[in-house]
Amino acid sequence: MSATYEISPELDETLKRWQQPAVLVGVMLFVVSIIGAFFNPDEFFRSYLFSYLFWIGLALGSLAILMTQYLTGGAWGVMTRRIFESASRTLPYLAIFFIPIGIGIPRLYRWSHPAIVQGDEILRHRAGYMNPGAFILRAIAYFLIWLALSYFLNKWSGEEDERGNQERRLAKLSAPGLILYVFTVTFSSVDWAESLADHWFSTMWGFLFVAGQGLIAMCFGILILALLSRRKPMSEAVRPIHFHDLGKLLLMFVMLWAYFQFSQLLIVWSGNLSNEIPWYMPRFASNWRALSIVLIYGQFFVPFLLLLSRRLKRNPWTLAGVALLLIVMRWIDLFWVVMPEFYKGLQVHWLNFTVPLGLGGMWIGAFIWQLKKRPLLPVGDPKLEGALLHGV
């Protein structure tokens, strides 16, 4: 069975133990959140927005890393390919879960109210682009591009298992696909997140989301690979050198996220313009500052210092621990991006937890369902043997 890298009975049982509670808890929490929406719809839609940005960022980051693998090669890409493919195949479900954001436009975005737009010169200037109809049409266009990329990458990868090498056309799609990914993530992040601050803009905004999505996807890949490596067949294939490679890539994403964050802050602060600085003022000058400090240390300094250790990167469980920390930090990061636009001071509501956990439970259930559909390693990939012998 290990020769084909199909899921072993032991691993299948383990996956069921993860999947069933995740779906059950996810559905229950989501139902509770919907009930909460009737009592506090504003808080529900705000919580839903940052939660949705988190989970779709994981799927899109996985899609981007998948395309990067086909362009760069490397043993790390072979060992994690099925994980990222499975995550990217959750995009159809996430397209459906975008519907509540469309419904919540009037409660989330000031530019959706004609009376407010008429009284604001800047919003009048942007009205041709930022209006509910155009917002929905652009979202449909983004999803069509993402779904097309995911469909063909997964289709051709599946054909590779049956027919042999498909690397050439996978790479040909991945090159323009990555360009489309960067553009669509930039525009969607402006639409869905940056436009909450209707007078503010940042030329680094899209890159921040690209880096954040890559970071969370790499963390998720490491975490799942560590869990899979406890059972056959992955216990026979994955070795410390593979985690070492992933750890180095994770360190790169940590540094890239920090670089983009600092670049945005430096540009805004050095410009000292009254229409740019206000985005940072509530985050630094109120009790939101506490989360700012948590992010500086939790999403950069602590993981950066830990990932300098070769021994830590070669141990799947210590590396998975750092990945889990960064996943939590990414959740806090998106909370810090969205919520200060609605509250001058830090406020925490129970919907801030039930909504992301509800969405997450259902997403994890869909991910595991997709993961079980194919062998855990790409058996038709000509680089598979080299990946298995990597470092020997």
Average pLDDT, integer, range 60-86: 93
pLDDT of 3 higher than 70: no
pLDDT of 365 higher than 80: yes
pLDDT in tens, 129-173: 999 999 999 999 999 999 999 999 999 999 988 887 788 899 999
pLDDT at 2: 44
pLDDT in tens, 347-357: 999 999 999 99
Q: Show Cβ contacts of residue 146 under 8 Å, excluding neighbours closer than 6 positions.
A: 60, 63, 91, 181, 184
Confidence band for 340, pLDDT divided at 50, 70 and 90: very high
Average pLDDT, integer, range 92-109: 97
In the chain, what's the furthest Cα-to-Cα distance?
68
Q: Show Cβ contacts of residue 278 under 8 Å, excluding neighbours closer than 6 positions.
A: 197, 199, 200
Confidence band for 285, pLDDT divided at 50, 70 and 90: confident
| Helix 75-88 × helix 41-72 angle, to 10° | 150
Amino acid identity at 4: T
Q: Which residue has the tokens 């042999």?
A: 164
pTM of the model: 0.96
**Cβ pair 222, 321 in contact under 8 A:** no
pLDDT at 192: 97
pLDDT at 74: 80
Average pLDDT, integer, range 190-202: 92
Q: Where are the domains of the chain?
A: 9-387
Question: How far is residue 378's CA from residue 392's CA, in Å, rounded to a whole number?
Answer: 20
Confidence band for 1, pLDDT divided at 50, 70 and 90: very low
pLDDT at 8: 84
pLDDT of 273 higher than 80: no
